[in-house]
Structure 1
Amino acid sequence: MEKSIMIIGVHHIDNPNNGDLFSYKNEDVSSEKIQGEINELIEALKKFNPTKIAIEIEKELDEDIKNDYVNFLNGSFKLGNNEKHQIGFKLARELGLEKLHCVNWNKAQNDVPNISQWVSEHYCPSWDKLKAEMEKEILERQEYLNTHTIKEFIIKLNEKKSTLKDHQFYNKLALISNGDNPIGAQWVAKYWYYRNMIIYKNIMEILEYDEERILLIIGGAHVHLITQFFSENSDCQVVDAIPYLSN
């Protein structure tokens, strides 16, 4: 049996101020209602029976996260409200895993332009149009989140039309320029694509054995590219998450 990966795109459930261009507003994660919805999601993900769980935390923090997880198992670490703890840690405990694997990369690079600053300082109708399109999409998703469970919302986030819509935002962002200054293409190529390729590389490094089953829990915007990279690798099968979440 070949190595496999199931990619779960999630929203940041703790309402972080992390610099994301677009985000969702969530109910109190500690409430009984939301805890019940998280448990429902965990039960669905358990059916994949992953041998390893990869999470969107910087790789260099792997040992720190391992210590936090061990302390969590011992009852001496209080979970935060983020999806890495609420979904990742809890699922790993249910599966009897010894650790979680940090696979994210997100470092400042000298040759990567600050596109957020640039669009705020320059007249750019194409950015205004793109931003309005994405804000409309996020508003529609927010309305769906407000009336559905976390599992139902994550199913929606992982539908191909949603992951493609997220990817198309970056595709269009690459077209933003100022004359001979292709700032959008530079940012998308040198930061966004590069970041996702490093995440892919980090995951490949923990795929050690045949029959290995990796569950990747990551922000929904990454799903299209990460799925593409793994789909083009003949050594690893991509498992569709929707059937596991829907049944």
Structure 2
Amino acid sequence: MSEKVKIFILGTYHFGNSGEHLVDINCKDVITDQKQEEIKEVIQKLVQFKPNKIAVELKQEDEKRLNEIYIEYCRNNFDEYNEIVNYDNEIVQLGFRLGKMLKHTKIYPIDHMIYLPEEVFEYAEKNCPEFYKEYMNKANEYETSTNEHIRNNTIGENLKYLNNPKRVEKEHSDFYLGLAKIGAGDNYYGADMLTEWYRRNLFIFGNLQNISEKGDRILVIYGAGHCKILRELVKGYRKFEFVDPLNYL
């Protein structure tokens, strides 16, 4: 029997304060001395996994340019004005930093962007007002609680929180599966949007399959909203072995 590829999916928030559709996560500046020490602590935990490849949330077609930037980073010459990734991004702060420590020669971008028809929320507001109100209340509560947690905890503690299976399941149920109800029995706007979300994650999974080779240990650094689907795909594929991030965090 062939040796399975070990896949460690690290769900994260976007360190650069990127909005996440309806939910806007605002984190403290990760370049401060305190946050840099917290990141170093996380890296020391991640290095125990001993990944031989690091995959990140960036378009696959940007691989060449990303690795030009990564090589300069390894030479202590990061270009802060590049068009691909900011210095405070988790790709640099976690992916580049760990890759340099482990002497990796490249980083693997595996993302594939698709269009998410967010006008579905305009339709829901007009045609499913009770559902829309409940959904938006949940989104606002989630945004408030998540931002509070991120403000009041270390980066390591926040990553543990985001990768907790109960939190992953709840987020997927409330903010993704719940959308299928919009337009059900008529135009299925919600199901169409959910289909596109799953399609994006299937593209990501296909790119992950494409970079994997027998015996690989791959660390995947991705937005936490992708965790549920990517975990299930990894667990369902006989050539992959899912690695629980909480065993390292």
Fold equivalence (TM over 0.5): yes
Question: Which position in structure 1 is the counterpart of 2:198?
Answer: 193
Question: Which position in structure 2 is the counterpart of 1:48?
Answer: 49
The whole-number CA distance in structure 1 between the counterparts of 2:139 and 2:153 is 21
The whole-number CA distance in structure 2 between the counterparts of 1:148 and 1:218 is 20
Question: Which position in structure 1 is the counterpart of 2:139?
Answer: 134
Kindly tell me: are residues 78 and 35 of structure 1, through their superposed partners in 2, closer, same or farther at Cα, counting changes over 3 Å? farther
> Could you tell me whether the CA contact under 8 Å between 2:13 and 2:25 is conserved in 1?
yes
Question: Which position in structure 2 is the counterpart of 1:157?
Answer: 162
> Could you tell me whether the CA contact under 8 Å between 1:25 and 1:142 is conserved in 2?
yes
Note if 1:175 corresponds to 2:181: yes
Deviation sequence 1:82-138 (CA, Å, 0-9, x none): 1111111111101110011000011338xx574245446656321221121132133
Kindly tell me: are residues 90 and 120 of structure 1, through their superposed partners in 2, closer, same or farther at Cα, counting changes over 3 Å? farther
> Could you tell me whether the CA contact under 8 Å between 1:113 and 1:186 is conserved in 2?
no
Question: Which position in structure 2 is the counterpart of 1:90?
Answer: 97
Count of aligned pairs: 240
Question: Which position in structure 2 is the counterpart of 1:13?
Answer: 15
> Could you tell me whether the CA contact under 8 Å between 2:10 and 2:222 is conserved in 1?
yes
Question: Which position in structure 2 is the counterpart of 1:243?
Answer: 247
Question: Which position in structure 1 is the counterpart of 2:6?
Answer: 4
Note if 1:213 corresponds to 2:220: no
* Percent identity over paired residues: 28
Question: Which position in structure 2 is the counterpart of 1:35?
Answer: 36
Kindly tell me: are residues 120 and 82 of structure 1, through their superposed partners in 2, closer, same or farther at Cα, counting changes over 3 Å? farther
- How well do the aligned residues superpose, as a CA RMSD in angstroms? 1.8
> Could you tell me whether the CA contact under 8 Å between 2:111 and 2:204 is conserved in 1?
yes
> Could you tell me whether the CA contact under 8 Å between 1:127 and 1:173 is conserved in 2?
no
User: What TM-score does the superposition give when structure 2 sets the normalisation length?
Assistant: 0.90
Gaps of 5+ in 2: 81-86
SS in 2 for 1:174: helix
The whole-number CA distance in structure 2 between the counterparts of 1:200 and 1:218 is 12
State which drifts further: 69-78 or 121-130: 121-130
Deviation sequence 1:159-202 (CA, Å, 0-9, x none): 1111101211200012112761110001101x100000100000
User: What TM-score does the superposition give when structure 1 sets the normalisation length?
Assistant: 0.91
